[in-house]
Every structure is written in structure tokens, then in C-alpha cells.
Structure 1
């Protein structure tokens, strides 16, 4: 497990952590780290809200969304998925298909038998789908946010630049900015200092190498077997689906109980960061929909 004390987190993230409860649950040879908000102000009858971050990420992918979601009366549970952030790696495997078991084990300890609203961003969307398939009683609903694994490839392959071999801090920052622009955020002017520092703190703690399921239709296959309702929220300018939104809609519609796709205007892949207010509105509308 990587100790976050060894990684400099942006002040905004440090401040958010001071308002959270931290819980550790078993994972691999160590622990899976969870942060929780809103338990004391939770509205009765609302399912626990579980936010699953993207690849090379951590709970900080949701930094700008947690306050509004907790203020809505939700108990918000946000883990560092196994092999990312401060959580230990799973005992075997390096992709989304090996994570449902440790996530379910953690949820059983935190939420008991309660069905949860599972919201998964990118890689975390695959984890949410696989979790809902393997443990159907755990999922009240699934909300996919920019999730891959649907068998829909971008027009051009997205090429990210290597950075670990670069020793100069300025050059490394320039590469990180390039990678954010290539995949995560629409328009380079959206890459502010906070986005850069969050991204760097996240990628430095990614130990899940060799992931490949995102380039398959594994999630689409899983969606067809889900028993719970499925919604989706994507950025209109998501680099993974630019020019392929019709194909995206068709792939999502394979879910047995698909309820709809919302597109956030002017947002790229990391839409909940780039257009936080618009995303929060779309997500809360989805969470308030009848099951």
C-alpha cells in the first residue's frame, strides 16, 4: 500500500479529506481505503451512494462532486479501488474483472446488506457493471459515467506519452498536460493547476499495469445480464466517443433495463471535474428517478 503522506496532495484534496471518515477493509495483503461523507445528515430511505473512480485514479476523481452529493442527503462512499491511490493491490489480476470481490467485501462491512446506487467513472464504470452482475443484491441501480468496455473504439487511437523516465519536473508536467488534453479534458484551457496536481498525485500511485478490458466489449456483455436499472452520463466531447455517440447509445441500450443516456455539453471524458455543476445536476436527477 502506498501512503498518501509520501505524495503531495493539492490543498483542496487535503481540505476535503479533513471532512471525511476514513475506513479500511481487507484487500490483498493489506487494506482497501474508503472515504465517506454525509452519514450524519443522510436522508432516511436513500440508498448508500458509491462512487468508483477511473483508471490511474483515486477518490479525487470525484473531488468537485462530493460536496453537492453529500448535501443532497446522500451517504457518499468513495474508495480508492484496489491497486490505486492508498489501497493495496488485489492478490491477483490487474484489471476491472478482479475488483468486484474486494469492493463487495468492503461494502458488506460498511453498508451491510443494503442495496447501493453504484456510480462508476471510466474504468470504475466497468467495475460497477461487473459488481452488479456478480452481486445483484448489492445494486439498486448502476450509473455509468464515461465508461469504456462497450466495443466502441475511437476514430483514432489515443496515444498517451510516457513520463516515468523523465527526471525534469517541468518536462514531466508538460507530458501530464498533454495526456490530460489527449484523453481526460476537452480543450486545453480546462487543464488548470488543480486538474494537473490531482492527475499527477493519481498516476504516481497506479500499480494496476497492463489493463486491456477497456478495449473490449466486456462491459456491454455484462450490461445485458444485469437485473437492475442502468443509466449513463457522458461528456458530449469525450475523446473515447467523439463522432460515435450513436454507437455509444446503441451499446448502452444492450442493458436489460436501460433508462437513458444524458450528455453533458462542453465536457470531455473527465466530465464530472470539467463541468461539475452540470454533472451533479444530471446525476442527482438520475438518482431521484423511480426504480
Structure 2
């Protein structure tokens, strides 16, 4: 990670993206864009990572290198976000998840099993894909997901699209600290670059989908183990974080749920080493 911090952010992103295979699958009459990292020649177990709202595959920039040594890693830009086109039913979590699940089948084959991991809004997608996939989905892991239990406090963000230069970067830094990263010292140039790229390409209104109840409906339909992680200082969850954990345990008593100390919403970035170690531990239990 120290090597990453010393590099230019765009160099880091370009380098990691250049190591991936790009796929396009249908999204209504448009396309859904995927990136696949695989060092195994297609023989490793498959894990799909779903990013958060107003995001892209870049939300997983510090997770992909940790997983690709053991897994075939598929990371989409979810419909209506990043490079992917807007879905036909942009307010229906299960309809969007159906597009995602179809994309996985087209890339890896409809007979393959896989794990799904979702951050924030991506947790809703992970749960819905898990419900649709049945026993083909070996496990579902949600990280910092909304829609579980009571709503937390509203997080007010500054508008950035009309800004330029240093003022734009400074405003991204403010928003990242309010919503995504608890420790201001961990908001580096890479985080700002990712935030800027993601936000200007965000079209799908994900908060309403996350709050629609779809994630809990999906969790109740899962046929596979459920794991969960939240940052101890997750801004969208606080002060209702403990209620979210209690709600998840009530619906799925065997779920493995962890709180990441001194960490905000974007835990996979802010506390990457800790989250990666826990995630690998969780995934290992259902590895074929």
C-alpha cells in the first residue's frame, strides 16, 4: 500500500485496469461494463465485487490485488453507474440484480458457482443476486450496506460538478470525510481521484433503492451463508449501527458480522489491510 501512496493516482488506476480483461454484457438495449482480474487461467474460484452508489469498480482498488492471488475477480460498473448504461427498470433492485446475474452467467458460464461481495448499495445488489442465484452463490458478504434496520443520520454533501481545480478537490475531500472516510489523514490523492471520476458518471439514484427494503427481502431468501462488515464510524449507519447488526442477526443468526474499529463507510479503502484479511477469511469458509 505504501507503494501505491507514492504513485500518481492515475498511474495506479491505469496500471491495475491494464491488468484486467474488459467484458460487456447486455443492460436493456445498452451495455454493462465489467473488468476481470485472473491469474489462474480461469481455474480459480470466482468472486464478484459490487461497488457502492455513485461508484465504479474503482471502489475496490485496494481489494482487487489482495483477492486476485487466490480468486478470479469480476468487478462490474453497476447499471447506471461508471461506464455502464442505465437499466430499463432503474428503481427496481431485483430487476437491476437480474441484469447483473445475467452478466455473470455470460462471462463465466451458467453452471459455475461464485461468491458475491457488495459495498454500500452494492450490498443490496449482492443480496439480490444471491437470492436470484440460489445455491450457485456460495456466500454473500455485505460491507457498509444501508437498508438493514433503522436509518442512520442523513449525511449532507457539498455539490461539486460546477467546481474546478483545487476548489473541486477540496470539496471532494470534505465530502469524503463526511460520508466515506472517518480519518481525514487517510483521504489521499487516490481517494479524491476515484471520487471525482465516479461522481461525474453517476446517474442511477441508489439511495432510494437501498432504502426500499429489497436487501432484507433478499436476505430472507438466501440459500447461502451471509457475512457482514461495518466500519465502527460508518457515517450513514451512525448512530444506528448497533441496530443494523441486531437486525441482521435476527434475520440470519448464523451470519458472521464484524465491526472494523476506527473506520468509516468506505472500509475497504480506509482500512484495506484489515478488511482484506477478514474478507479472505470469510471467503475461505465456502471456497470450493
TM-score, normalised by the number of residues in structure 1: 0.89
Is the 2:264–2:270 contact (alpha carbons within 8 Å) kept by the matching residues of 1? yes
Q: SS at 1:23's partner residue?
A: strand
Point out the structure with the larger helix share.
2
| 1:266 counterpart residue number | 262
Give the stretch that moved more between structures: 182-191 or 96-105.
96-105
Matched residues in 2 for 1:136 and 1:147: separation? Answer: 21
Matched residues in 2 for 1:290 and 1:138: separation? Answer: 12
| 2:68 counterpart residue number | 70
Cα drift, residue 226 of structure 1: 1.4
Cα drift, residue 216 of structure 1: 4.4
Residue 272 of structure 2 is aligned to residue 276 of structure 1:
yes
| 2:210 counterpart residue number | 214
Q: Which runs of 5+ in 1 are unaligned?
A: 1-8
Matched residues in 2 for 1:217 and 1:269: separation? Answer: 20
Residue 96 of structure 2 is aligned to residue 99 of structure 1:
yes
Q: Would the alpha carbon gap of residues 230 and 255 (structure 1) be closer, same or farther in structure 2, given more than 3 Å must change?
A: farther
Q: Which runs of 5+ in 2 are unaligned?
A: 1-8
| Aligned pairs (5 A) from 1:1-291 | 10-40=10-40, 47-71=45-69, 73-94=70-91, 96-112=93-109, 113-154=111-152, 156-164=153-161, 166-209=162-205, 211-256=207-252, 258-290=254-286
Cα drift, residue 38 of structure 1: 1.7
Matched residues in 2 for 1:126 and 1:92: separation? Answer: 15
| 1:37-71 per-position Cα deviation (integer Å, ceiling 9, x unaligned) | 125266x5x53100000000000000111111011
Q: Would the alpha carbon gap of residues 257 and 78 (structure 1) be closer, same or farther in structure 2, given more than 3 Å must change?
A: farther
Q: Would the alpha carbon gap of residues 173 and 94 (structure 1) be closer, same or farther in structure 2, given more than 3 Å must change?
A: farther
Is the 1:120–1:128 contact (alpha carbons within 8 Å) kept by the matching residues of 2? yes
Matched residues in 2 for 1:27 and 1:114: separation? Answer: 21
Cα drift, residue 31 of structure 1: 1.3
Q: Would the alpha carbon gap of residues 97 and 162 (structure 1) be closer, same or farther in structure 2, given more than 3 Å must change?
A: farther
Q: Would the alpha carbon gap of residues 209 and 290 (structure 1) be closer, same or farther in structure 2, given more than 3 Å must change?
A: closer
Matched residues in 1 for 2:165 and 2:93: separation? Answer: 31
Give the stretch that moved more between structures: 220-229 or 193-202.
220-229
Matched residues in 2 for 1:179 and 1:95: separation? Answer: 27
